[in-house]
């Protein structure tokens, strides 16, 4: 069976550095960092290191929220608002209108780690410490569920094709985009609005802290320097939030509409490691890389840039660097991670970072890894982009995402050529 | 408690909780057909009314039979009479409710 070609015709973001791709990219390029201390979080053990959290929050424009009719807004917690805002940008860039996606040939796939984290927490508070069901809104469930972002966006945009929500933590966004690509390649959908989203919440940040994968506030006092992918002084990750949404489209469909083609998605792979639940596994990552190049039928040496998953954890960055080094050999493509700028946006990360990477492709430059000053032991031997943006034509880029549960995902995007 | 005070307090819940324009709140208006609300909204309306009036409505079968705003006003008037009969100072209560809203 001849696979159809799948292209990107729209991108939208809600990020800790701004709520348009231009703002986000300008922030990244300027070396800004969205991380700060989350003083508004009321966490047990106030004043102790365990209760001092850094995070990378989003500030969403109230005007956008108010622009949504109440019948849409009522079932949206923050994750769905972020995803809706990003999705609207994406369809606008693609030249699509709400009202023309109601055709069963347009799908919507948006993944996340948690669903509506704030609504889940609120539900527990009401049931356990409040007045119980007497006070439970009819919308609590709809704001909470793991597919809350995708069903809200599909309602908002009136999308009636395939609607689904991969839940694979930090690999969710790439799985969404990858599955969208497969649906289009196999002719099952013409357009898929897809990506990932996440809410920042103390319950989730705390989950990383408790296994010592979160950034150590005893070692890292400055929130702007605490997320340091691949660096020798890295001590853990910082959670962030946001959404990245794409319009993926079958090439001939896009051409027939006269849509601007931003890039082509040429390869996707996902695999489990089968052994570890919390530690990434270099052999499994390497396998995922083998699979994605096989899927694309492209030689790895064609790769111009790797946007790493690299979250600033000791073990994860080491495993990814090891896998890249072993897979690509002595001369690796240039590598950078954006988590020094925005922390780890979990279910949104694959999509947000892919959007930035595609912007790098347009600008022919690579954003360096913020706060990477000296690669840590085991993270050397790959071509780190450090300190300054690097000018380079980017025809083929690899995006990595690795998740708790031992799930790996990789996506290859190519500059579009007719 | 005057019926007009009761209506004002109920209408405020529609405006604040469900963002229904005040001018749409006519006594004969049907809650679903005319105000564009649905059964999910009714749950949140009930929560709003419970909070405002300090009562429990969740298990009320009568509440589920309500069709128009007038039905709702009548239902609350009946509740008010029951409370009054039980010795509750409903005049002070409605003043308190209205003061909270100021």
Secondary structure percentages of chain A, helix, strand, coil, to 5? 40, 20, 40
Chain A: residue nearest B56 by CA?
A: A134
Domains and CATH numbers, chain A: 6-257 (3.40.47.10), 268-414 (3.40.47.10)
Residue A75 contacts residue A144 (beta carbons within 8 Å): no
Using CB atoms, which residue from A71, A133, A137 is nearest to B58? Answer: A133
Average pLDDT of span A55-74: 96
Active site amino acids of A? 170, 309, 344
Average pLDDT of span A275-295: 92
pLDDT classification of A218: cutoffs 50, 70, 90: low
Note the pLDDT of residue A208: 81
Residue A412 contacts residue A298 (beta carbons within 8 Å): yes
- For domain B3-86, the CATH superfamily is ACP-like (1.10.1200.10)
Chain A: residue nearest B15 by CA?
A: A70
Least confident of A120-134, A202-216, B66-80: A202-216
Average pLDDT of span A40-57: 80
**Beta carbons of A137 and B56 less than 8 Å apart:** no
Chain B: residue nearest A69 by CA?
A: B19
**Beta carbons of B40 and A70 less than 8 Å apart:** no
**Beta carbons of B43 and A138 less than 8 Å apart:** yes
**Beta carbons of A138 and B56 less than 8 Å apart:** no
pLDDT at A347 over 80: yes
**Beta carbons of B47 and A70 less than 8 Å apart:** no
Note the pLDDT of residue A217: 65
pLDDT by residue (tens digit) across B7-62? 999 999 999 999 999 999 999 999 999 999 999 999 999 999 999 998 999 889 99
Average pLDDT of span A216-245: 90
Note the pLDDT of residue A323: 97
A70 touches chain B (CB under 8 A): yes
Average pLDDT of span A287-315: 97
Beta-carbon contacts of A388 under 8 Å, excluding residues fewer than 6 positions away, are A368
Note the pLDDT of residue A214: 75
Alpha-carbon gap, residue B72 to B63, rounded angstroms: 8
Q: How far does the CA of residue A104 sit from the closest CA of chain B (Å)?
A: 26
Among B44, B55, B63, the strongest candidate for a mutation testing the A interface, having the largest count of A CBs within 10 A, is: B44
pLDDT by residue (tens digit) across A137-153? 999 999 999 999 999 99
Note the pLDDT of residue B89: 84
Give contacts of A135 with chain B, Cβ < 8 Å.
47, 50
pLDDT classification of A219: cutoffs 50, 70, 90: low
Beta-carbon contacts of A62 under 8 Å, excluding residues fewer than 6 positions away, are none
Q: Tell me the average pLDDT of chain A.
A: 94
Average pLDDT of span A39-63: 84
pLDDT classification of B101: cutoffs 50, 70, 90: low
Note the pLDDT of residue B93: 81
- Residue whose C-alpha is closest to residue A246's, from A4, A21, A18, A16: A21
Note the pLDDT of residue B84: 87
Is residue A286 classed as helix, strand or coil in its secondary structure? helix
Each domain of chain B, given as residue ranges in start order, spans: 3-86
At residue B77, what are phi and psi to the nearest 5 degrees? -65, -40
Is residue A265 classed as helix, strand or coil in its secondary structure? strand
Residue A19 contacts residue A87 (beta carbons within 8 Å): no
SS in 3 state form for chain B? CCHHHHHHHHHHHHHHHHCCCHHHCCCCCECCCCCCCCHHHHHHHHHHHHHHHCCCCCCCHHHHCCCEHHHHHHHHHHHHHHHHHCCCCHHHHHHHHHHHCC
Alpha-carbon gap, residue B84 to A377, rounded angstroms: 77
């Amino acid at each position: 069976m001849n696979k159809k070609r799948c292209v990107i015709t729209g991108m939208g973001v809600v990020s800790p550095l701004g709520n348009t791709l231009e703002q986000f990219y300008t922030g990244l390029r300027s070396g800004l960092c969205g991380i700060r201390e989350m003083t508004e979080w009321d966490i047990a053990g106030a004043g102790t290191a365990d209760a001092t959290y850094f995070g990378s929050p989003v500030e969403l424009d109230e005007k956008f929220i108010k622009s949504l009719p109440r019948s849409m807004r009522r079932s949206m917690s923050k994750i769905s608002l972020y995803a809706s805002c990003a999705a609207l940008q994406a369809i606008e860039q693609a030249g699509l209108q709400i009202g023309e996606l109601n055709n069963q040939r347009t799908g919507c796939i948006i993944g996340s780690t948690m669903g509506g984290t704030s609504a889940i927490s609120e539900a527990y508070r009401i049931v356990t410490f409040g007045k119980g069901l007497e006070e439970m809104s009819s919308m609590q469930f709809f704001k909470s569920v793991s597919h809350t972002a995708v069903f809200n966006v599909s309602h908002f945009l009136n999308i009636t094709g395939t609607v689904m929500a991969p839940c694979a933590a930090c690999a969710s966004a790439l799985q969404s985009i990858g599955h969208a690509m497969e649906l289009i390649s196999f002719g099952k959908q013409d357009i898929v609005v897809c990506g990932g989203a996440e809410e920042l919440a103390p319950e989730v940040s705390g989950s990383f802290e408790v296994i010592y994968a979160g950034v150590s506030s005893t070692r890292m006092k400055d929130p702007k320097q605490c997320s340091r992918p691949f660096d020798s002084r890295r001590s853990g990750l910082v959670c962030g939030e946001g959404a990245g949404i794409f319009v993926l489209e079958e090439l001939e469909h896009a051409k027939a509409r006269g849509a601007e083609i931003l890039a082509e998605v040429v390869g996707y792979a996902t695999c489990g490691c089968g052994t570890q639940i919390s530690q990434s596994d270099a052999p499994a990552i390497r396998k995922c890389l083998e699979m994605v190049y096989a899927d694309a039928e492209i030689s790895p040496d064609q790769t111009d840039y790797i946007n790493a998953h690299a979250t600033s954890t000791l073990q994860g960055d080491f495993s990814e660097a090891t896998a890249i080094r072993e897979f690509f050999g002595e001369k690796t493509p240039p590598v950078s991670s954006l988590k020094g700028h925005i922390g780890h946006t979990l279910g949104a990360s694959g999509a947000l970072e892919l959007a930035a990477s595609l912007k790098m492709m347009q600008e022919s430059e690579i954003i360096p890894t913020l706060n990477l000053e000296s690669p840590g032991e085991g993270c050397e031997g790959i071509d780190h982009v450090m300190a300054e943006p690097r000018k380079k034509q980017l025809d083929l880029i690899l995006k990595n995402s690795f998740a708790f549960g031992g799930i790996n995902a990789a996506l290859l995007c190519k500059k579009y050529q007719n | 408690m005057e019926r007009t005070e009761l209506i004002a307090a109920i209408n405020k819940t529609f405006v604040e909780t469900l963002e229904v324009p005040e001018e749409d709140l006519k006594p004969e208006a049907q809650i679903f057909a005319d105000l564009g609300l649905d059964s999910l909204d009714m749950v949140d309306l009930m929560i709003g009314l419970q909070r405002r009036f300090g009562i429990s409505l969740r298990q009320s079968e009568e509440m589920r039979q309500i069709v128009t705003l007038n039905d709702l006003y009548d239902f609350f008037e009946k509740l008010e009479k029951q409370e009054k009969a039980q010795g509750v100072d409903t005049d002070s209560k409605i003043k308190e409710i209205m003061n909270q809203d100021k």
